[in-house]
Amino acid sequence: MKVYVDKDTCIGCGVCEGLCPEVFKMNDEGKAEVIVPETEASCAQDAADSCPVQAIKVE
């Protein structure tokens, strides 16, 4: 699956990195960055479900 973060929507809460550090990493601006855009890691979906502002898209 492909993973995207909408940086304009992300509020930098860090939940995605906490749940799925192999896919998400906080950048210098305090926003989440996808470090592995194509992954089978199920935690990416968990992160998308847990993001408080729905900034993560998984397809």
Q: Is 10 in the site for ligand F3S (CB under 6 A)?
A: yes
d(CA 25, CA 44): 12
- Given 16, 20, 34, 44, the residue binding ligand F3S (CB under 6 A): 16
Task: Give 12 or 40: the residue with its C-beta nearer to ligand F3S.
Answer: 12
Ranges within 20-39 binding ligand F3S (CB under 6 A): 32
Q: Where are the alpha helices (DSSP H) in the chain?
A: 15-19, 43-50
Applying CB under 6 A, the site for ligand F3S has a residue count of: 13
